[in-house]
Chains A and B, each alone.
Chain A
Amino acid sequence: MFIEYLPGETLLHRLDVRTKMLGFFGFIIISFLFQDPKYQLLIVSLTGLLAFWIKIPLQKIRGMLIPLIPIIISIILITGFTFAPERFDHVSSQTILFYALPGEKLGATVGGFMMGSTFIFRLFGMMIASSVLILTTSMDDFTQFFQKMKMPVEVSMMLTTAIRFIPTLDKKRRQILEAQRARGTKFNEKGIIGSIRSYIPIMVPLFINSIMMANSLSMAMLNRGYGLTRTWTSMREIAFAPRDYWVMSFIVLLITLSFFVRFRLHLGVL
């Protein structure tokens, strides 16, 4: 998988999964409160500090960012041209820089470009925040979380089985690919139809094999008593430590502060 649990001993690793989830949702709320890119930049920098703290693998982040560059540019352009001046509260944002078409049509607003930047920062922030969350939280913790949230056993069961079978299916895919290459399959046929057609010999056996595996998996699960009761024994009881209460209060404080800034002081809008 692209990003997976990175064992470590930082405070973020040791925090309870529920605290971290609260923090994550808090981040989303704050991020959506503000439209001004300056505020967003502040939020992103703060999340970046967290990422830096847990020694996030920079290589991977770079790998994730590079393919996004065309999207980033197009988002800024689209918002820049499509956000009409009436949508902004501040006069400075309503300023029209230039028109793309003659006859004063399709004007590029300052606010539009700023909005575009906000979107980009929000996107980055989300990426960093979710990476931090996934990198510091083990699969076990997530299933615990689902259980605590009173989700049915099936949900966490599905989740763990899916994760368990990712490497298995990937191995199958490689084996199938080799078997078909040995029969002379070419994977560089031209055009969309061509490339779809050349993947049929991979996809069909992969589906058939997955179905057969799912079949025997269901037998194996019944063999081991799955479905006898609607619940199961929890393997680990998660519990809040004092640090969790401190961190949670800090998060709540931060959210309240943000609401105050946004709605009382009317800051951070465009």
Chain B
Amino acid sequence: METLENEKSQARAICLKNLSYRYPNAVEPSLKNINLDVEKGKFFLIMGSTGAGKTTLSLCLNGLIPQLLEGKLTGWVSVAGKDVGKTAVQSLSKVLGLVLQDPETQIIGRTVEEDTSFGPRNFLVPLEEIKQRVNQTLEKVRLQGYNDRLSEELSGGEKQRLAIAGVLVMEPEILVLDEPTSELDPVGRSEIYATLADLRRKKDLTIILVEHSSEELIYRADEVVVLNQGELVWRGVPSELFRNLPLLRQWGIKPLPVSQIGWDFYEKGWITLAEIPLDIPSAEGLIRELLPKYGRWQGHLQGQAQRQVQVPGQGFGAGQRKDGLFQQELDLSKKEIAVQIKDLNYQYNSDQTALRGINLMIEAGDFVALIGQNGAGKTTLAKHFNGLLKPTSGEVIIEGMNTLKYDTSDLSKTVGYVFQNPDHQIFSATVEKELEFGLKNAGFKGEEIKERVEQVLQYTGLERYRNVHPFSLGKGERQMIAVASILVLKPKVLIIDEPTTGSDWTGVQTMMALIRKLHTAGTTIIMISHDMDLVAQYAKRVIVLKEGGVLLDGTPKSVFSNEQILIDSAIVPPQLCRLSFQLEDILGREPFIESSEFTAMFESREQSGCL
């Protein structure tokens, strides 16, 4: 990119000087003394855990803070040479477009065209020009020809692209996207990333992207900025950040799975920091290169593969043989069957068949992951487990109860169902009361209620929020409240729909640790998830649904070894599995799903000590 020397001041798209901001009624400031320059035409990534101030920062950029949201703002923000403090949000929208998290509330028009034209209409752009611009913009976000479609009927990814079109149509120089993919499935997410890549190629557009996930972005972004508790703690090239695992952990950012292997080699002194791989080809090369030197791969590795909880900071200590452990658990629980499904068919009122011919048996104490593309029938199937939906034909028997004969409120004592969005169920003024609700419905009284609430508050770590209003807490905590409000009923079967959407890595770890704890205690877990890393790491059995039927069913290893079938149903296997496919000639058909399995290939007699 050629930056003209004489226009140096013009070359800066965004300039922040000593920016601090405190929300009204907040004790701590959300942004502390931030200084940042962004050059024109760059692609910046802003990362950090929830509550780090990422959204607050993006709201400061287009003047919504302080013009819509009050609070105490100090410092200076300038965008494309305009002083944000002195320019109305509406005028700023011509130079800086902001796309928010939830696509639903950003769509104003009933049809795609009506929505896209909203911005230019406010600027009194003539009709002919609007039509032209709308068509151009829709093409940019790959929605050409959608003009007359109803915005309500679009998919999640399409809605978010429409939201991007809505700000792009005003032809801004800078595009800021605040976690635009957090509400989307993997297909929707890759649609957004592809759109961003297109935009970068076609126009000299400065892009600021706030995002949690990193695998797809690492080579796309020019620079990363990390925020931690309102402070700007890191700025530099993405690859440098992602090789520094201790820093990532400290800031609650998810490291790339392959870098975990590399970090282990680095700790052993085999490679330099710069050699830590960040993608599959380089990891493959590295392993092939190191294997003759240090490897102990003789095919007897299976005995050494270790199972261990992936908590940051915990070492790769010696563990039990994975498959052995798995076998034992199955033996223990083989007597009982938690869920039995016979010839289940389900049809929506609109005659659209959602489930066809499903036969399943889930043993008590199992940990099952339901995966599949959106619309594959995962949620429809899960809703049969607690009777929210009744089979059109066939039957579902849960812990001996036929769902046709029981009401959801009766089943709720045995089957807990945690929905994706905690805000759909929270309605009490304190966390404690929220937890009591389910117990009261189930007919528990006085002491029993108190006791159980107490137990669950401790179990989930929500004790200190007991008397706090749930909506004053962050999304991660609200998610935990939703889980806790189900756990008070001590369900034998727990269904969790996307327990980690929108959470940062720390939040994901906490939630999954809790689910694993429940599983160990004997609860049957049925988890719906799009996060294949989690599925591979935690589930004992994976069921892949496609078009309302079961496509694959087995252990994570056996399911993820069917790479082609998975890709056909729009599922991308976890990064480490894909790495093991590349190394198939060495490892054989069975893929590895944990980084410790790779490092185990290199176990030497002089143990490298703890990580």
Contact = CB atoms under 8 A, between A and B. Distances in A.
Contact of A213 (B94, B104, B408, B437): B104
A59 interface: no
A164 B110 contact: yes
A182 B388 contact: yes
Contact of B423 (A182, A205, A229): A205
B151 A184 contact: no
Contacts of A222: 64, 67-68, 89-90, 93
Contacts of A201: 425, 427, 437
A226 B92 CA distance: 12
Given A219-B100, A225-B90, A235 B408 contact: no
A217 B108 CA distance: 8
A228 B123 contact: yes
B316 interface: no
B419 A225 contact: no
B409 A181 contact: yes
Contacts of A180: 425
A228 B122 contact: yes
Per DSSP, chain A at the interface is: helix
Interface string A162-192: 0110011000100110111111111000000
Contacts of A232: 121-122, 124
A218 B121 contact: no
A264 interface: no
Interface stretch (B125-133, B289-297, B568-576): B125-133
B421 A175 contact: yes
Range, interface on chain A: 35 or more
B124 A233 contact: yes
Interface in B81-120: 88-91, 93-94, 97-98, 100, 102, 104-110, 114, 117-120
Contact of B130 (A182, A217, A233): A233
Q: Which of B106, B108, B386, B417 has the most CB of A within 10 A?
A: B108
A223 B107 CA distance: 12
Contact of B102 (A139, A216, A227): A216
B426 interface: yes
A208 interface: yes
A220 B106 contact: yes
B371 to A, nearest CB: 21
A182 to B, nearest CB: 4
B438 interface: yes
A179 B109 contact: no
Contacts of B425: 176, 179-180, 183, 201, 205
A217 B163 CA distance: 12
A209 interface: yes
B93 A178 contact: no
B601 interface: no
A224 B409 contact: no
A178 B89 contact: no
B413 A184 contact: yes
Contact of A233 (B62, B125, B424, B441): B125
Contacts of A172: 424
A208 to B, nearest CB: 7
Interface centre among A175, A180, A209, A223 (most CB of B within 10 A): A223
B566 to A, nearest CB: 29
A257 interface: no
Nearest to B495: A182
Contacts of B441: 183-186
A209 B98 CA distance: 22
A200 to B, nearest CB: 7
B110 A225 contact: no
B419 A208 contact: no
A168 B152 contact: yes
Contacts of B465: none
B544 interface: no
A168 B426 contact: no
Contact of A182 (B91, B108, B419): B419
A64 interface: no
Nearest to B120: A233
Interface string B143-154: 000000001100
A184 B108 contact: no
B485 interface: yes
Contact of A167 (B121, B130, B152): B152
Interface string A235-267: 100000000000000000000000000000000
A209 to B, nearest CB: 6
Nearest to B441: A184
Interface in B48-63: 59, 62
Nearest to B88: A228
A175 B424 contact: yes
Nearest to A209: B423
B423 A225 contact: no
Contacts of B106: 216-217, 220, 223
Contacts of B424: 172, 175-176, 179, 205, 209
A217 B97 contact: no
A183 B110 contact: no
B105 A213 contact: yes
A231 interface: yes
A15 to B, nearest CB: 22
Interface string B382-425: 01001010000000000000000000110011001101010111
A1 interface: no
A204 interface: yes
B442 interface: yes
Tell me which of A139, A181, A227, A234 has the highest count of chain B C-beta atoms within 10 A of its own C-beta. A181
A229 B125 CA distance: 12
Given A168-B152, A184-B438, A184-B441, A224 B167 contact: yes
B121 A223 contact: no
Interface string A100-133: 0000000000000000000000000000000000
A222 B88 CA distance: 9
Contacts of B126: 233
Contacts of B471: 208
Contacts of B388: 178, 181-182
A212 interface: yes
B104 to A, nearest CB: 6
B110 A224 contact: no
A102 B412 CA distance: 61
Nearest to A164: B110
B431 interface: no
Contact of B114 (A221, A225, A226, A235): A235
A183 B437 contact: yes
A179 B419 CA distance: 6
Contacts of B67: 222
A253 B110 CA distance: 38
B98 to A, nearest CB: 5
B125 A208 contact: no
Contacts of A234: 127
B474 to A, nearest CB: 14
**Which 7 pairs show the lowest CB-CB distances between chains A and B?**
A184-B441, A204-B427, A228-B90, A225-B122, A184-B412, A182-B417, A179-B425
Given A182-B417, A224-B118, 10 more contacts: A160-B110, A168-B152, A175-B419, A184-B412, A200-B427, A223-B62, A226-B90, A226-B118, A233-B126, A235-B127
24 contacts: A160-B110, A164-B107, A172-B424, A180-B425, A182-B388, A182-B412, A182-B486, A183-B485, A186-B441, A200-B427, A205-B425, A208-B426, A212-B423, A216-B102, A217-B106, A223-B89, A223-B93, A223-B106, A224-B166, A228-B91, A229-B122, A232-B122, A232-B124, A235-B121
Interface of B: 59, 62, 64, 67-68, 88-91, 93-94, 97-98, 100, 102, 104-110, 114, 117-127, 130, 151-152, 163, 166-167, 170, 383, 386, 388, 408-409, 412-413, 416-417, 419, 421, 423-427, 437-438, 441-442, 471, 485-486, 489
